[in-house]
Amino acid sequence: MSTTPENHRQDRQARRALVIGASRGLGLVLVGELARRDWQVIATTRKDGGALRADADASNGRLTVESLEMNDPGQLAALRERLADRRFDLLFVNGAVNRGNLSIDQVPTDMFTEVMITNALSPLRVLESLRGLVAPGGTVAVMSSEQGSVSQNTEDGYELYKASKAALNQLMRSYATRYADDGHTKLLVDPGHNRTELGGFDAPLDPAESIPAVVDVLEAQAGAPGLRFLDRHGEPVPW
């Protein structure tokens, strides 16, 4: 049976995404791009209001907002309960902190713990808690970074951030191994070095240009088996 343009439009409108960590930066641009492409998006933020709420109010119902502090297991369980009857084609986990360019011997223990929990442990807790909301054949994806590549760590700097992203990648590999037969596409995405609060405002990339490319990758990879670590062009990033 042939597919009409109207059917294509309806298929696009039917796609649903849950994006964790979208109050600012890359996450905010990501949900805006998904909504622009007629995805129905639920996005989370630690505090209501701000740019995400304004975007939701202007989205004609394509974007809605939920509250979540990703590092709080109780809040994560509550979100899972609130969304128990929903199913998503995409679960995307975004969110990281960077506490500066310190060598590892200068990093206080509490800073190490905070960064590792936020950048590595919490994203995988989110996947474990919410994976049951992902439809058969859907995608689970996490925002990573080329700085998590061990083989490409050839320049000084940002040792704790690099370590946290490498830990994230390793934990995602374990997740993918454990759930190899669940039928979900699994992605680690490197969006490049973008001008955000996290990436710095002298970074070379504009999120308004790089994030549409990331969404292109998410859409192109839908249904692909296994785990891939890809950049915004869809090219493999060395582990």
- What would the mean pLDDT of 231-237 be, rounded to a whole number? 96
Place of tokens 């994006």: 19
Q: What CA–CA distance (Å, rounded) separates 222 from 153?
A: 30
Dihedral sign, CA of 144, 146, 151, 154? negative
Q: What is the pLDDT of residue 83?
A: 98
- 154: its two tokens: 């050839």
- Split at pLDDT 50, 70, 90, the class of 93 is very high
Residue 150, pLDDT score? 96
Is the pLDDT reported for residue 201 higher than 80? no
Give residue 11's pLDDT: 47
Check residue 147 and give its pLDDT. 87
Q: What is the pLDDT of residue 95?
A: 84
**Tens digit of each residue's pLDDT (9 = 90 or more) over 106-122:** 999 999 999 999 999 99
With beta carbons less than 8 A apart as the criterion, state whether 205 and 194 touch: yes
- Residue 14, pLDDT score: 76
Q: What's the DSSP call for residue 80?
A: H
Residue with tokens 């989110």: 126
Pairing of strands 185-190, 134-143: parallel
Q: What is the pLDDT of residues 146-198, one digit of tens each?
A: 989 999 999 899 999 999 999 999 999 999 999 999 999 999 999 987 655 66
Sheet with 40-45, strands from edge to edge, namely 63-67, 40-45, 16-20, 88-93, 134-143, 185-190, 227-231
Is residue 1 classed as helix, strand or coil in its secondary structure? coil
**Do residues 24 and 54 touch, judged by C-beta distance below 8 A?**
no
Pairwise CA distance, residues 134 & 114, whole Å: 28
pLDDT digits (tens, 9 = 90+) for 27-77: 999 999 999 999 999 999 988 778 999 999 999 999 999 999 999 999 999
- The confidence score (pLDDT) of residue 198 equals 62
Mean pLDDT, residues 90-115: 94
User: Does the pLDDT at position 10 exceed 50?
Assistant: no
Predicted structure pTM score: 0.91
- Backbone φ and ψ of 139, nearest 5°: -120, 135
Return all residues near 31 (Cβ < 8 A) that are at least 6 apart.
Answer: 17, 19, 22, 41, 43, 52, 55, 63
Domains and CATH numbers, the chain: 5-231 (3.40.50.720)
Q: How much is the pLDDT for 55? A: 93
